[in-house]
Structure 1
Amino acid sequence: MKTKLIATIALLSSFMMSGTAMAQQNYLDEIAQRACTCVDKVQTNGLGENEITMQMGVCILQSVGPNDRDKIMNDYKININDPMKDGQRAGALIGTRMAAICPATVVKLSTIAKEAGSGGSVTGNIIKVDSDGFVTFSVKENAGNTQKYVWLFPTKGGLDLPSIYSSMTGKTVTLKYETKNIFDPRVGDYRQVRIITQITEGFAKVQ
């Protein structure tokens, strides 16, 4: 009789533990689904690797409701309200569920982020030239968004930039760039900068 009672208690405990695990998975799946929907809407044109990663992080944070934050704290000891301390763990927890729910979306965005990290090329109209410190061209791209590109080194393309850079506002250019993480003392952290390696006037094929 005593043996049967112990077995029954063990069985009930097993069911309760299973139910708890299922509940944990269910609410995490709901969070991941919301994050996947958000990530699907991210416009990646012109964004660098850090910016794409940041957008994914924003989607994850926005997908976690107030009740979910309490559950995650209770179940995993992860404080969503303290991203500096637990942001990486939270991203890993929810990102794992996202990889199971929307694998194609996660792979696509990760690939785009990786490609953005090495640079790219763009055609657009120069709407502003800043020469405070380094020369920076604000370029309105064909997709409609505006990005800043910094001229630090001699460039390919045949343009005599030292002579003409200040008069290039309004010009249509095609440029090739690399993205680098450069320390910015104003914010006390690294930030991603698009550095021009090649620039030509008009629509051109970059090499």
Structure 2
Amino acid sequence: MRRTTRSFASALCAALAAIAFGAGGASTSAQAAGMEKPFEWPASFVVLGDGYPHSGDACRRLGESAATVNYLDHMAMLVGCPGSRDSAAVRAIVGHQRHARVVGEAEGVTLISISTESAQAGSQNGHGPVKESPISASGTLPCERGNGQTKTMCKFGVVHHSDRSTTVVVYWPDGTTRAIFFGVNGRVVGTAASASDRPMPGDTLTRKHAGINLISVGNERYEVEDTVLSGS
């Protein structure tokens, strides 16, 4: 009888140990999944905005750099998505945007070219609204906000329009943007929160010094060189 009791107790202890081990393993796996790090974009890419096609999405619009120069087209925008071309983010863009196609992969990023030519042709024929033109150049420029914040460097993208006007979109590190609209004479005609908004004069002051446009928008400060506007 004692032998039977001991056998039963041993079996019970083994079963409890197995359950505890399984729970611990599941907990460890859950913790590992929760600690998964967000994708870090390689320094070789000029990343624009905080998500494409919507803010917070994994994909990003890409500017000109050594990693993208062979994939840029003045009649298309370039988008990069972390992962392979079979990822859900890539399939969502290619599957829902008629003029999107995968053009390459580099450093863990799938590159997608999205043509804007047909959209512009449609708007000229009166069949739809004017679409945003593709960014033709990118880089960094000095930027500053008031309230004691020091001057830093912000990424920017340039859109050259068919009427020879120019829009410079500045990307702040916190994800917000500022669009500065220049007329054909190189003077600022207005600003807005994004390139798709209507330009407004607002609280904007400009002056030029040694080929640099010194622009104040409220407590924001920007330095835009004339070469950025001319594309030279």
Q: What TM-score do the two structures reach when normalised by structure 2?
A: 0.29
Is the helix fraction higher in 1 or 2? 1
